Amino acid sequence: MTVSSNRGTQVTVNQFVLDAWKLAGIVDVDASESEPQLNGKMAFGRRKLGSILKREGAISSARLLDWEYVTLTANTQSYMLDAGIYIVVGDGSYIDPDETSTTAPDEEDVVTQLTMPEWQTLQSKSTTGTPDSMYPHRGGSGYAIELFLYPIPDAAGTLRLVVHREMAETDSGEQTLDVKGFYNEYLMHELAAQLCLASNGSAGKLRDLRSSAATMRREARGAAVPQNDVTVDVDLGHNFLRR
């Protein structure tokens, strides 16, 4: 016998939701997602799963950290970011239009992220030049982020940002979950607990599911911490140094 060559295989949203119903003890373990009488339960489960993912997406360890490239236009101060972006992380980088690469330019300039009060007190916001400051403002239509630059770009350069993206929707049952595999067991137990509650399942089952979900959530968050954020305790003759 040989070890499987497949790694990171993901189940579909419908498969995940059906397994959660089964784990909750509401649906028989032999049930199939194609059974018409389960259509309402499957739709409800997808909505609940989407709500859980949105809540988890507000936690940094569960968010999707990514690059975002904003193409600038000369004499244009503000830019609407994709609605799926939660926050802009830290400072950005301005890449001159003469650069041949936006991922590995020969030179780039730091664009410092400002707070709302800092942006509010800037003088002469009509100044043009190479942007060195930015303010990401949330509160417009759909709560998408509107990015304000200072000075106003005088050339069509590129701004590279680090952003946290929202997880993909779960309205399509044939798609896969937009999370790393180590979150699956927590999400399964959390969803099963909510389905159990909604279906008036047994109190004992609900308690067990919630307890398991809480434990698995802590474990998943621990696994999601970036490697460079790991804390190491060094024993220096019974005096511990934390690095």
- pLDDT digit string, tens, across residues 58-93: 665 555 678 999 999 999 999 999 888 888 999 999
Q: What distance in Å separates the CA atoms of residue 221 and residue 80, rounded to the nearest whole number?
A: 31
- Any domain includes 5: no
Q: Are residues 29 and 105 in the same domain?
A: no
pLDDT of residue 230: 44
pLDDT in tens, 156-184: 999 999 998 777 777 777 787 767 667 88
Q: Are residues 124 and 207 in the same domain?
A: no
Give the least confident one: 10-19, 71-80, 201-210: 10-19
Q: Are residues 72 and 114 in the same domain?
A: yes
Would you place residue 232 in the very low, low, confident or very high pLDDT band (cuts 50, 70, 90)? very low
| Number of structural domains found in the chain | 2
Q: Are residues 160 and 216 in the same domain?
A: no
Count the neighbouring beta carbons within 10 Å of the beta carbon of residue 194: 22
The percent of residues in the chain predicted with pLDDT above 90, rounded, is: 50
Q: Are residues 130 and 76 in the same domain?
A: yes
Maximum Cα–Cα distance across the chain: 72
pLDDT of residue 165: 79
Phi, psi angles (nearest 5°) of residue 116: -60, -45
28 Cβ neighbours under 8 A, 6+ residues apart = 22
Burial 225-237 (b: 16+ CB within 10 A, else e): eeeeeeeeeeeee
- Any domain includes 234: no
Mean pLDDT (the chain, rounded): 84
Amino acid, res. 226: P
Q: Are residues 124 and 202 in the same domain?
A: no
Q: At what angle do helices 13-23 and 39-57 cross, to 10 degrees?
A: 100
> Does the model's pTM come out above 0.75?
no
Q: Are residues 151 and 204 in the same domain?
A: no
Would you place residue 226 in the very low, low, confident or very high pLDDT band (cuts 50, 70, 90)? low
- Any domain includes 215: yes
Q: Rounded mean pLDDT of 113-124? A: 93
- Any domain includes 241: no
Q: Are residues 94 and 131 in the same domain?
A: yes
Which residues constitute the domain of residue 173? 13-60+169-224
Residue 195: closest CA among 52, 75, 61, 71: 52
Q: Are residues 220 and 191 in the same domain?
A: yes
Q: Which contacts of 29-34 are long-range, i.e. CB under 8 A and separated by 24 or more positions?
A: 33/173
User: Is pLDDT of 241 > 60?
Assistant: no
User: Is pLDDT of 194 > 90?
Assistant: yes
- Any domain includes 237: no
Burial 88-111 (b: 16+ CB within 10 A, else e): bbeebbbbeeeeeebeebeebeeb
